[in-house]
Amino acid sequence: MKDRSVSQNDFGETTTAELGNERVSAFLKSVYGWMFVGLGITSVSAFAVAASPPVMDALALNPALFWVIVIAQLGLVFFLSFKVSSISPGAAAGLFILYSALTGVTSSIVLLIYTGASIASAFVIAAGMFVIWREHKLGLDKQRKPENAPPSAPTPAT
């Protein structure tokens, strides 16, 4: 019986399983790319809000404003969840960017508690993990050995 996970059939055509794997990999690369962009927008908006004393005063001294922003953020999550299949990709991207910016505004309060260096390193590490996962893990799909492949011979130590 033939292994159906090979990349070509007897006629040199790409099999359905291989095309499915390529589509999933492309989709996941896109998702992690968007997560990287969203995290970047969140960090830029958080630092911009934290750098503006009047805006920080408005958020810190007016709990109602802060809660309106939190509820708007949550409302965007529900709206996107329910309407993702019926809105245009451009509208979904715009709402995701708005959500990312609102997340930065609400998390800017955290910048008052921790040092800028520790927060910047956390954002850089998180964004870097999305890029590494996207490029390294998802890029390995084409380089993996088949499951039934015999183990490689050990290389001699020098």
What is the maximum span of the chain, computed from C-alpha positions, in angstroms? 71
Please tell me which residue, 41 or 4, carries the higher pLDDT value.
Answer: 41
Query: By the 8 A CB rule, do 43 and 104 touch?
Result: yes
Q: How many whole angstroms separate alpha carbon 54 and alpha carbon 36? A: 29
List the domain range (segments joined by +) for residue 39: 17-142
Say which residues have a Cβ less than 8 Å from residue 84's Cβ, sequence separation at least 6.
92
User: Residue 12's pLDDT is what?
Assistant: 57
In-domain check, residue 107: yes
Query: Where is mean pLDDT largest: 21-30, 91-100, 136-145?
Result: 91-100
In-domain check, residue 43: yes
Q: How many whole angstroms separate alpha carbon 85 and alpha carbon 63? A: 35
In-domain check, residue 156: no
In-domain check, residue 5: no
Tokens, residue 114: 């921790």
pLDDT tens track for 92-135: 899 999 999 999 999 888 778 888 788 778 878 877 777 777 67
pLDDT tens track for 44-97: 998 899 889 999 999 889 889 989 999 999 999 999 889 888 999 889 899 999
In-domain check, residue 2: no
Tokens, residue 76: 């965007």
In-domain check, residue 153: no
In-domain check, residue 58: yes
Computed on alpha carbons and rounded to an integer, the radius of gyration of the chain in Å comes to 23
User: Residue 143's pLDDT is what?
Assistant: 52
Tokens, residue 19: 């095309």
pTM recorded for the entire structure: 0.63
Count of domains in the chain?
1
